[in-house]
Amino acid sequence: MSGLFGTLNVANKGMQAAQTAFHTIGHNISNAETEGFSRQRVELQADLAYTLGGVGQLGTGVKMIGILRVVDDYVTRQIRGENGTFNKFTAKSEVLEQMEIIFNEPSDTSLNFNLGEMFDAWTELSKNPEIPTAKSIVVEKSKTMTDTLNHIANQLESLKDDTTELIEMNAKDFNSIVESLDTLNKQIFNISIKGQVPNDLMDQRDLLLKNLSSITNFSTSFDGYGRVSIKAEAGAPAAETEVLSFDGSTKNLLTVNDSDGNVVVQLGGNELASKSGQIAGYKEALVEINEQIDELNEFAVTMAKAINYVHREGMGEGFENNFFTDNDGGEAITAANIKVNQVLQDDNSKVNVGATSASLEGDGSRALAIARVRNIKLSSGMTYEFEAGTLNLVGDPNGNTIESTYKGIATNIGISKQQSDNMVSNQEVLLNQLVMRRESTSGVNIDEEVSNIIKFQKTYDANARVIQVLSEMLDTLIFRTGV
C-alpha cells in the first residue's frame, strides 16, 4: 500500500512535469523566429511501478526522461550540400551581371555602336577626301571607340580586383567560423560529458555549418559527444585535409596568396579544391573575367593590326604611320592601352586617305579600303596583304569580322550569365524544398504550442486538484478521526 503521501508525490511529479513542459513551450515560442532553432520537447515516461502485494503493479507517476530537440540530421546535411551549390552560382551570377553592365549591350552608347560609327566615319572620309573635317571626324570617332574599349578593359580589371577581394573575405569568414566551431565543440563536450544534451548549442553548431557551406564544400563527422570535425579537399589530385579535429588539436585555416595577379586559396600548403560555395563561384567568375580580358585584347590587337596595315602599307616614306598605337606610340597594344596614334591626333591631316602620299586630293581609296575592313574576316594569326592591284585587305576565310568578334564576346557573357542564373533558380527551388522539410520537422508552430499550453495547463490543474483532494483526505484522517 503506497499511502496517501505516495499519492501526493505522484501528483507533485505530474505538476512538475507540466511545469517543465510549460517552460519548454515558452522557450519554443520565444525562439519561434530564431535562425537555426529546432523545437524542443520534454520526453515523458511512466515512472517505475511499485509492486503491491496481491494487487499488482502500482504506477508511481510520470518521469521526465529529458528534453529532446526535434531534428532530421539527414535533411540538415542535404541542406549544407545544396546551400553550397546555390551560393556558388549566386556568387557567379552576381559577378557576371556586373560584367554585363560593363559591356552595356545592346545600347546606343556601347562599343558595338562606336565601332559602327568609326567605320561610317571612314566611309564619309573616302567620299570627302578633300575636306579636312572628315579626317578630324575619323580621328574623333576612333577616339570615342578606343576610349570605350579602354574603359571596358579597365572596368574588367577592377571587377577582377573586387572579385579577388571577395574571395579573400570569404576565406576570412571561413576561418572565423572554424574558430567558433572549435569553441562550440569544447562547450558541447563539457556539457555532454555530464550526461546532458546541449540542444541549443547543437542548433548553433548546425547553423554555423550551414553558413560554412555557403563558403566552400567540406565533409563532416560527429562524435558521440556531438562535436564536429571538418575535412576539405585540397591539392591536385584533391585529397581530404583535416580542417578541424574533434578536440581542436588540429586546426588548418585558409590562407590566400596572390600569384601573378591570380588569387590562390590554400589549405595546409595545398590549393583548396573548392567545388561549391562562394569561393568556387567567385573563382569560376574570375576565370570568365580573365577569358573576357584575353579575348578583348585579342580583338583590339587584330583590329588595330588590320587597320594599321591598310593605313600604313605602301604610303611611301614619311607617311607610314600606324593608325592605332599603345600608350607610348608602340605596337604592344592591349584593350586597355589602345589609342589613336598621337601623331595623328596632333595633326589630323596625317590621316592617310589616298593610295600614296603623292595621291591627288580627290583620291579616297585608302579610306575606302579601311572602311571595307569592316566586312573582312580577320584572325589573330593571319598574314596581312593586299589583293593584287588594290588596297583591299585579303581576309582569312576562317576568321571573323571585327563586329562579329565583338558581338561574340558580348553575347558569351550573356550565355554564361543565363546558365548561371538558371542554376540559381533551380538550386533555389531545391534548397527551399529542403528548408521547408527542415522547417516541417524542427520549426515552431504557434498554434501547436498554444494547444500544448492548454493541454499542460489542464494537466497542471488536474494534478493540483489531486493534491487538493488528498489534502482534504488528510484533513479527514487527522482532524475528524478523534483521538
Partner 1 sequence: MRITNSTLSTNYLRNLTRNLENMQKYQNQLASGKEVSRPSDNPLLVSKIMDLSNNILQNKQYNTNISDSLGWARTQDGALNNVNATLNRIRDLMIYGANGSLSETDRLAIYDEVNTKVQELADTLNTNFDGRYIFAGQKTLSTPFDATSGTLIYNGSTEDITREISKGVTIDLLTNGNQIIETTGTSDGGSNDNLGTLLNKVLKALQDGTGLDNLSGDYLADLDKHIDNVLQVRSKIGAIDNRLQTAKSRNESENLNLNTLLSEREDIDIAEKYMEFSVMKSVYHASLAVGAQILQPSLLDYLR
* Site for partner 1, rule CB under 8 A: 32-33, 96-97, 100, 103, 105-106, 112-113, 116-117, 119-120, 123-124, 126-127, 130-131, 354, 359-365, 368, 371-372, 374-375, 403-404, 407-408, 410-415, 417-418, 421, 432, 435-436, 439-441, 443-447, 450-451, 454
Quick one: which of 233, 232, 269, 228 has its CA closest to 247? 228
* E strand or H helix that includes residue 69: strand 62-69
Pick 268 or 414: Cβ nearer partner 1: 414
Q: How far is the CB of 458 from partner 1 (least distance, A)?
A: 13
Query: In this complex, which beta carbon is closest to partner 1, that of residue 38 or of residue 185?
Result: 38
DSSP codes, 401-420 = -HHHHHHHHHHHHHHHHHHH
Of 86 and 218, the one with the shorter C-beta distance to partner 1 is 86
What is the end-to-end Cα distance of the chain in Å, rounded? 23
CB of 79 to partner 1, least distance (A): 14
- Please state the closest distance from residue 351 (CB atom) to partner 1, in A: 17
| Nearer residue to partner 1 within complex by CB, 117 or 271 | 117
Locus of grid cell 569544447: 186
CB nearer partner 1, residue 206 or residue 326: 206
- In the bound state with partner 1, the residue whose beta carbon lies nearer, of 35 and 161, is 35
The nearer residue to partner 1, 234 or 310, going by C-beta atoms, is 310
**Does residue 106 have a cis bond before it (omega within 30 degrees)?**
yes
Q: Under a CB-based contact definition with an 8 Å cutoff, are residues 92 and 281 in contact? A: yes
Nearer to partner 1, 289 or 413 (CB): 413
Residue 258, exposed/middle/buried by CB under 10 A (0-12, 13-18, 19+)? exposed
**387 Cβ contact list (under 8 Å, min separation 6):** 393, 394
Shortest separation between residue 105's beta carbon and partner 1, angstroms:
6
CB 102 to partner 1: min, Å: 12
Helical ranges in 68-131 per DSSP H: 73-103, 111-127
Sign of the four-CA dihedral 142, 145, 151, 155: negative
- From residue 35, how far is each of 28, 85, 177, 252, 453 by CA, in Å? 12, 21, 16, 28, 23
Minimum distance between the CB of residue 217 and partner 1, rounded to whole angstroms?
Answer: 25
CB of 383 to partner 1, least distance (A): 21
| Shortest spacing between CB 434 and partner 1, in angstroms | 13
- For residue 428, give the nearest of 77, 73, 90 by alpha carbon: 90
Distance CA 312, CA 305 (A): 10
Other CB atoms closer than 10 Å to residue 162's CB: what's the count? 13
